């Protein structure tokens, strides 16, 4: 079996409830015996968790309604006020870019986790491709929002490839080594094929991109 080569070029449940802060400046006395430094660290951890909740909520709304979805819908999904969204992300472009990077990291981290938890490497590959399709749906509309900043979009695209192509390559290699798939295509080739199948899916209800992606992944299986 030939192995997929990582591309070296530059080419869960959604969390909808805003996380609570344990030490939110609300006068709660710290009974743990830890000093103010521990409280500050806890506050920073809660802030990161809260921001992740906002990004998860925004991603969920973008999947169903696109990147032009009203901010109030995102706030409702996250269980916060609209002002909270704007405090973290002053412009829509800021929010979309943050969601894009957040989803890249989530997709990248899911690969090794699926290899550990799935019944087989092929099942892990299929599960990851499902997440990748979700990511592509979230991505729709990004180029239009960033059309005034081509350099920014190119940097994001390069980050996307640098993070996800090696993950896909590892999944393909594992499935090939297990004998579950025939000669593995290149990771970039597979990802681009999946991406092309997803083009236009959001604007034509007669077109079922997910079904076609499932057929593509099924076609990788070794029939023996």
Highest mean pLDDT (candidates 40-44, 69-73, 183-187): 69-73
Domain positions in the chain are 36-218
* Phi, psi dihedrals of residue 80, rounded to the nearest 5°: -130, 175
Closest CA to 222 of 178, 169, 171, 179: 179
Least confident segment among 17-21, 137-141, 165-169: 17-21
> What rounded mean pLDDT belongs to the chain?
79
Tokens representing residue 48 in the block: 């990161």
0.85 exceeded by pTM: no
State pLDDT tens for residues 74-83: 999 999 999 9
Residue carrying the six token digits 């094929």? 193
* Planar angle of CA 35, 41, 44, nearest 5 degrees: 145
CA distance linking residue 93 with residue 98, whole number of Å? 8
Residue 214 has pLDDT above 60, yes or no: yes
CATH, range 36-218: 1.10.357.10
Tokens representing residue 215 in the block: 């057929």
Residue 90 has pLDDT above 80, yes or no: yes
Residue 18 has pLDDT above 50, yes or no: no
3-class DSSP state for residue 42?
A: helix
Mean pLDDT of the region 139-161: 72
**DSSP type of residue 180:** S
Tokens representing residue 111 in the block: 């690969």
- According to the model, what pLDDT value does residue 33 have? 45
3-class DSSP state for residue 115?
A: helix
CA distance linking residue 29 with residue 160, whole number of Å? 44
Closest CA to 192 of 8, 11, 3, 4: 11
Residue 133 has pLDDT above 50, yes or no: yes
- According to the model, what pLDDT value does residue 41 have? 58
* Planar angle of CA 72, 75, 80, nearest 5 degrees: 130
- According to the model, what pLDDT value does residue 195 have? 92
């Amino acid at each position: 079996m030939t192995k997929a080569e990582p591309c070296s070029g530059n080419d869960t449940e959604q969390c909808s409830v805003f996380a609570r802060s344990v030490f939110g400046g609300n006068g709660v006395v710290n009974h743990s015996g830890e000093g103010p430094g521990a409280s500050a660290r806890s506050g920073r951890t809660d802030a990161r968790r809260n921001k992740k909740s906002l990004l998860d909520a925004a991603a969920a709304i973008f999947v169903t309604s696109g990147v032009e979805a009203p901010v109030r819908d995102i706030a409702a999904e996250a269980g916060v006020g609209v002002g909270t969204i704007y405090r973290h992300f002053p412009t829509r472009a800021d929010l979309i870019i943050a969601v894009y990077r957040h989803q890249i990291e989530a997709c990248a981290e899911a690969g090794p986790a699926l290899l550990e938890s799935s019944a087989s490497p092929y099942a892990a590959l299929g599960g990851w491709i499902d997440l990748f399709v979700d990511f592509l749906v979230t991505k729709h509309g990004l180029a239009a929002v960033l059309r005034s900043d081509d350099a920014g979009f190119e940097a994001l695209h390069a980050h996307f490839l640098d993070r996800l192509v090696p993950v896909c390559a590892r999944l393909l290699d594992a499935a090939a080594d297990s004998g579950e798939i025939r000669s593995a295509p290149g990771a970039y080739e597979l990802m681009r094929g999946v991406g092309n199948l997803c083009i236009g899916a959001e604007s034509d209800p007669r077109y079922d991109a997910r079904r076609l992606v499932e057929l593509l992944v099924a076609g990788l299986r070794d029939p023996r």
